[in-house]
């Protein structure tokens, strides 16, 4: 009985230590399929003397999606998931390819969901699968899966070409 306890504690310690070192934010690398908020290169600014401060950035209705040298604009849906996603921006994500029609990554936290079955996906749709998986679709097709809408790319022409095959790094930023 004592051996089983010691063995189980040893295994627990091994798993716990590997989980703590799987993605070190200080090493500048990210695991494939994960998103990390972009670092703030500037120190916190001094208070703005303007009596009319800038509006809350989470109220913006548009974003820029940068893939290498290509850039696309997208509009947000008006829902809790889109507002929570905006709060994560700017963010750079290594997104994995799935089924040769979408790129996906796990977000650093769960977002609110209001999933529904859209019946069809359109190229440029930005969706949440489950509560934590961000999906950028680059092809149109019918589907029976359920998603929460985050937004959509304004003009998806060239999106598939920019994304290419395999994993790709994508930057998302809020437009004001």
pLDDT in tens, 73-127: 999 999 999 999 999 999 999 999 999 999 999 999 999 999 999 999 999 999 9
Q: 12-26 pLDDT, tens per residue?
A: 444 433 333 322 223
User: Which letter, b or e, does each residue of 76-103 get, where b requires 16 or more Cβ atoms within 10 Å of its Cβ?
Assistant: bbebebbbbbbebbbbbbbbbbeeebbb
Q: How far is CA 164 from CA 95, 100, 158, in A?
A: 11, 10, 10
SS3 of residue 128 by DSSP: strand
Q: How many Å apart are CA 32 and CA 96, to the nearest integer?
A: 7
Backbone angles phi, psi at 133, to 5 degrees: -105, 115
On the question of pLDDT at 29 being above 50, the answer is no
How many other β-carbons are positioned within 10 Å of the β-carbon of residue 1?
5
pTM: 0.70
């Amino acid at each position: 009985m004592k051996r089983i306890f010691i063995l189980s504690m040893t295994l627990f310690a091994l798993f716990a230590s590997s989980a703590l070192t799987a993605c070190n934010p200080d090493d500048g690398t990210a695991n494939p399929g994960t998103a990390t908020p972009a670092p703030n290169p500037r120190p916190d600014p001094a208070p703005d003397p303007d009596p009319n401060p800038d509006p809350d950035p989470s109220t913006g209705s548009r974003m820029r999606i940068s893939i290498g040298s290509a850039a696309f604009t997208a509009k947000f849906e008006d829902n809790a998931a889109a507002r929570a996603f905006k709060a994560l921006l700017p963010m750079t994500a290594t997104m994995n390819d799935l089924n040769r029609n979408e790129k996906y990554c796990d977000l650093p936290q769960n977002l609110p969901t209001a999933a529904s079955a859209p019946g069809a996906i359109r190229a440029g749709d930005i969706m949440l699968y489950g509560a934590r998986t961000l999906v950028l679709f680059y092809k149109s097709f019918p589907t029976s899966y359920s998603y929460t809408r985050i937004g959509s790319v304004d003009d998806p022409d060239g999106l598939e070409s920019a994304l290419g095959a395999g994993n790709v790094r994508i930057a998302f930023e809020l437009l004001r």
